[in-house]
Amino acid sequence: MQKRALLSVSDKSGILDFAKELEKMGYEILSTGGTKRFLEDNGVAITAVDEVTKFPEILGGRVKTLHPLVHGGLLAKADDPEHQREMAENGIAPIDVVCVNLYPFRETIAKPDVTVEDAIENIDIGGPTMLRSAAKNHAYVAVIVDASDYEAVLVELREQNGTTAETRRRLAAKVFRHTAAYDSYISNYLTELTGEEYPDQLTLTYELNQSLRYGENPHQKAAFYRSPLGSDFSIANADQLHGKELSYNNIQDANAALQIIKEFTMPAAVAVKHMNPCGAGTGETISEAFAKAYEADATSIFGGIVALNREVDEDTARQLAGIFLEIVIAPAFTAEAFEILTQKKNIRLLTIPFEWAKKDRWNIVTVEGGLLVQQPDELGYEDAEIQVVTERQPTEAELEALKLGWNVVKHVKSNAIVVCDADMTLGIGAGQMNRVGSAKIALEQAGERAQGAVMASDAFFPMSDTVEAAAKAGIKAIIQPGGSKKDQESIDKANEFGIAMVFTGVRHFKH
């Protein structure tokens, strides 16, 4: 019986060579629209689908393959006598190979000026239907949605006059992943248009970015997936210029560094260890900013990740090169800086566009059996309703320091305390089971530098003990959300020691 292949693709990469090889093997090639014209123009003999169906393409091409003579050929079981009888009665011929890729819906909605009309017209109907039909019947039909599979299919067709059951099942699984992802783009796009924040079903799709050597620990397998329509300002979209492959923990820490560095507009540097900042600094230059981030905690930065929001110059590179660092992230590196840093074989150098235009819609965390979904915590100092609640008002310098502390503390694991001055952190206490414990860690790290410094807390003080500890260390101003039943006790304690206290009305828990 004559072998037949149906080819209808939006992305024509490799399709001409694939079609010519099928033609050499004696396949009749069915096609539609632009694919048909492209192949015919390049010398491939084509049978138009409307010649098979005896029905023209209509509605501007919206309807062309949705026909029993097409889908009967895709869905018929070759070894089912009843199917064969019905095919003979209705003049249906089987289709053995299907190669379809879809209208570029994802690429269309990624355009900044896309209209709803353009998006709707790029929703493919016939393509997914053919793919699903062929994939359902993969016991008999080889279905290809990815150009990278053309050659493997051709090899099997040449060598054994057909494809193996294993190959057909692998291809079918890829098809259903592909159509599921395609539908998720459409459903999420339309859901956003309706304004529904939390629909009754949440369908997400991610693409494999890289397989990882292992996860958090060597006995855990892991991989890194990226959101195709996610933020450009992400590790998933970074360009790695130098160094060995990123690990699971590298990616986690690098992401944490990015979230902190984007809080700053002036030259800034952040060092991260185990997803907590260990130092942050600002300055007139990026070199000055990094020097302060390093000075903030010269011990913990060892083996850490550094993010900088300006191009790394030669002076900054020499400072970075003097420390063991896992990763340096920046918008760019000068040629001199790159030459200095690449002398260190294993350091990873990553560049990311800092002019991010799009932010991720949700933060998503997996729990056993489900997902927790929330809006990102994007509220900063400027969004807070600043209220001075003590007798003493903070000075202008103290307000600048409080602002830095507030922007950093939101990225520290709760319970979180940050001690800082106007341009660098001095001590950070993270993840303790009680707030005074975090304060003691931050104050001990700050040491004598706490004299005249300020303190930031991610949540309110349930007792006045943190204020008392701050006062004994020489803290002059505190920023915290407020909202405790015992707020007045903390205010009274601050007044007792002459500390200025600011309430923000915003909590920054980070678990």
**Per-residue H/E/C for 262-310:** CCCCCCEEEEEECCEEEEEEECCCHHHHHHHHHHHCCCCCCCEEEEECC
Burial label, 367 (beta-carbon count in 10 A; 0-12, 13-18, 19+): exposed
Write out the DSSP string of 83-106.
Answer: HHHHHHHHT-----EEEE----HH
Distance CA 324, CA 312 (A): 17
Distance CA 5, CA 27 (A): 6
The residue behind tokens 């407020």 is: 482
**Could you report how far apart the first and last alpha carbons of the chain are, in Å?**
64
Distance CA 279, CA 292 (A): 8
What is the pairing mode between strands 222-226 and 207-212?
antiparallel
Q: For residue 486, indicate whether it is catalytic.
A: no
Length of the chain: 511
Distance CA 332, CA 318 (A): 15
Distance CA 209, CA 236 (A): 7
Distance CA 40, CA 53 (A): 19
Q: Where are the alpha helices (DSSP H) in 91-149?
A: 105-109, 116-121, 126-136
Contacts of 241 (CB under 8 A, 6+ apart): 333, 338, 349, 350, 351
Radius of gyration of the chain (CA): 30
Q: For residue 83, indicate whether it is catalytic.
A: no
> How many angstroms from the chain centroid is the CA of residue 44?
42
Tell me phi and psi for residue 391, to 5 degrees.
-65, -35
**Residue among 20, 67, 83, 274 flagged as catalytic:** 274
**Residue among 136, 178, 411, 510 flagged as catalytic:** 136
Active site residues: 136, 274
